Structure 1
Amino acid sequence: MSKTMPAHDHQITDFQQHQRAFTQWIRHPNTAPIPDQIESRRMQTYRDLIFNNVSSFIEHTYPITQAMLPSETWAMLIDNFFKYGQCDSPYYYDISLHFREFLNQEPQEEFKNKGVEDTEYKKTSNLIQQTHHCYPWLKELLQYEWMALYVDMTETLWLDDTFGSKPVPEPTLLKFKMLNKDIPITLKTTCWVLAYQYPVHTWSQDNAPARPEIAPTCLLIFRNQDFQMRVFSLHPLWAYLIELIQTKTACTIHHLIQQLSIATQYTEKASRTEVKALIKWLLSINLFHIQADSLI
């Protein structure tokens, strides 16, 4: 038994070395030696297949980013990600996340201890820094476009309104009760409140501004019952209140009014008016979870 172990270990080491040589050539075909006993034609075919798969996942997730960047810059970013990016997840859909992280990380943090030659490190580092300098909206647009994939893949529940055996209240009466009782506030599903310096939600492949201007924006994002991502622009105060609703256990109307008064120095009357306006709006987009017990 002991006599066969060294040979077995040696075989594993040989395989690992061959595998490393294989992946190194896939990433760096112009500098890495081609693995032994493999035709260059076959290696190139395999590399093209992997590169095209990686590119397609990225382009599918970030079509607006691709449209707004010069084609040469976009191609160089994907090429550098393919060479030096690290994908730790086994899921294909995470390739897009790793691409975003690759572009957003500090170059020194991303490439140190990766075995990247100094000259190549400088080229890649300079490319990423220069791209962010020329296109300061890039980080926010990447994050916003990635949210579409994230919201689609995330498991979320949708709570139906619960009236039990009781009749559904007439809408006007329902709204009156909702706005005049200190009831617990619950949303029907998980929401994301995001803040951007640029109005990225207004951009598209066909409507990409030549010179994007700063316009601070708060957004509410969630997936509706039809599994479609909904995006709404929010006033910053409403963004703050919705964050409170989602983060505080058993959040009530009274608590929202109290916290809004503290944060803004509004009078209690002004805060109550603002909170009621928010609740009316949440009811209008079917995001407010109504429970019969809370209306008794």
Structure 2
Amino acid sequence: MNFINTQQGFMDYIRDPSNPLPDGMTLERMSVYRELFFNNINGFVSGGFPVLKSLYTDDAWTKLIQQFFVSYDCKTPIFIEISQEFIAFLQTQYQPADYDPPFMVELAHYEWLELFISTVFDDDNEQVIDKALITELPLNVSVKARVAQYQFDVQHISVDYQPTEASEQAHCFCVYRDDHDEVNFLQLNSLTAQVLAFINQSKQCYFSDVLSWLVESYPQMAPESLSSGCLQMLQQLADKGIICSLKAI
């Protein structure tokens, strides 16, 4: 057996001990290897989703991580990205059990965003926008900010509060890292969420572009009201570092 086949047999057994033992390896030795690998994965996932984990019994949580460990083909060798792979597993492959909460995927994504924003690298090309220059400089959403929308009020979920039905209205958030490297959760109204989505999709736009889009999208509102309201909104977002401008290259 060549090295590649030996290596594959080693990995197959670590992921699922129902596979044959690799040639020349004892059960005791492979059990140690497998426990080390599984505990690492379990530790990273559990640390990234503390609220979700708290809603499960120890056995049910271990079963979930075991299924992820055995069946999902992780693409990253970076441990800190394991939580993102776990989200992908829940979204694309996992078949919920009867005891899984209906908000499982949304809560997991909400918790993952905090970890992601806390570790994302700064973009040295970003620059703070002075409030007086909001109408003049090109606008971008910072790499340290993400907008998300959920059907459940995930920000309140705990052992003592577990909704069984989605809310009538969506819950929008911007998760961002401030100048002190603290991760913050800002609940957004629908209009602010739409404006941030427009800026993000545009990659780079100006205040005039945002205002033109708003006037077209909300013809029932006076352009002057939209202009003043949008300006105030963008100034507040700039103060928090959620929107920025890019340095000229």
TM-score for both structures, normalised by structure 1: 0.70
Q: Which amino acid in 2 is paired with 1:285? A: K
SS state at 1:194 partner: strand
For 1:153 and 1:71, the matched residues in 2 are separated by 28
Unaligned runs of 5+ in 2: none
Q: Decide whether the 8 Å contact of 2:87 with 2:108 is kept in 1.
A: yes
Q: Which amino acid in 2 is paired with 1:34? A: L
Query: CA deviation digits over 1:123-180, x for unaligned, max 9?
Result: xxxxx2335x842211111111111222223222374558xxxxxxxxxxx86x568x
For the pair 1:22 / 2:10, whether they are aligned, the reply is: yes
For the pair 1:66 / 2:21, whether they are aligned, the reply is: no
For the pair 1:272 / 2:227, whether they are aligned, the reply is: yes
Provide the aligned C-alpha RMSD in A. Answer: 2.9
Tell me how far 1:53 sits from its aligned partner.
Answer: 0.7
The equivalent residue for 1:153 is 119
For the pair 1:135 / 2:101, whether they are aligned, the reply is: yes
Tell me how far 1:275 sits from its aligned partner.
Answer: 0.9
Tell me how far 1:221 sits from its aligned partner.
Answer: 1.7
Tell me how far 1:213 sits from its aligned partner.
Answer: 5.0
SS state at 2:108 partner: helix
Higher strand share: 2
Q: Decide whether the 8 Å contact of 2:53 with 2:61 is kept in 1.
A: yes
Tell me how far 1:46 sits from its aligned partner.
Answer: 1.3
Task: Summarize the alignment of residues 140-219 of structure 1 with structure 2, pairs less than 5 Å apart.
Answer: 140-157=106-123, 159-161=126-128, 177=132, 182-186=135-139, 189-190=142-143, 191-203=145-157, 209-211=161-163, 214-215=166-167, 216-219=170-173
Identity of aligned residues (%): 22
Q: Decide whether the 8 Å contact of 2:176 with 2:242 is kept in 1.
A: no
The equivalent residue for 1:86 is 73
For the pair 1:251 / 2:239, whether they are aligned, the reply is: no
Q: Decide whether the 8 Å contact of 1:261 with 1:271 is kept in 2.
A: yes
Change (3 A) 1:237 1:78: same
For 1:141 and 1:236, the matched residues in 2 are separated by 20
Change (3 A) 1:200 1:36: same
Unaligned runs of 5+ in 1: 1-12, 108-127, 163-173, 292-296
Tell me how far 1:198 sits from its aligned partner.
Answer: 1.4
Q: Which amino acid in 2 is paired with 1:214? A: A
Q: Which amino acid in 1 is paired with 2:103? A: W
Structure number, greater radius of gyration? 1
SS state at 2:187 partner: strand
Aligned pair count?
241
Query: CA deviation digits over 1:85-142, x for unaligned, max 9?
Result: 21121211222222221221146xxxxxxxxxxxxxxxxxxxx2335x8422111111
Higher helix share: 1
For the pair 1:37 / 2:24, whether they are aligned, the reply is: yes
Q: Decide whether the 8 Å contact of 1:185 with 1:245 is kept in 2.
A: no
For the pair 1:282 / 2:248, whether they are aligned, the reply is: no
Change (3 A) 1:89 1:287: closer
SS state at 1:130 partner: coil
TM-score for both structures, normalised by structure 2: 0.82
Q: Which has the higher contact order (CA 8 A, sep 6+)?
A: 2
